[in-house]
Amino acid sequence: MQDLIRKCVTVIYYDVNTLELNHYVGDFPVQQEGRVVIPKSFKLNKSIVAVCEGEHIPLELEYAN
């Protein structure tokens, strides 16, 4: 059996319960065509905004009152 290729990505998403914007950096399997596979278990209660290749830490922006 062939080993699955994995790729480090950053997933930016909203938590559907709190509407808080979050990110997650981790390794996910890659299909033969090169597309990253995000498991259904990870998608649960999340609305994914973007998937970026590599490790990216979004800057936290605070708005002036």
- Region 32-44 average pLDDT: 94
Kind and range of the H or E run holding 43: helix 40-43
pLDDT at 57 over 90: no
Q: Assess if residue 61 is contained within a domain.
A: no
Number of domains in the chain: 1
Which residues are CB-contacts of 41 (< 8 A; sequence separation ≥ 6)?
Answer: none
Q: What is the DSSP letter of 27?
A: E
**Distance between CA atoms of residues 48 and 43, nearest Å:** 8
Asked whether 42 and 15 are in contact (CB, 8 A), the reply is no
Q: Assess if residue 46 is contained within a domain.
A: yes
Confidence of residue 40 (pLDDT cuts 50, 70, 90): very high
pLDDT at 36 over 80: yes
- Region 51-57 average pLDDT: 92
- Region 24-38 average pLDDT: 94
Q: Assess if residue 62 is contained within a domain.
A: no
The pTM assigned to this predicted structure is: 0.82
pLDDT at residue 1, as a whole number: 39
> What phi, psi does 40 have (nearest 5°)?
-60, -35
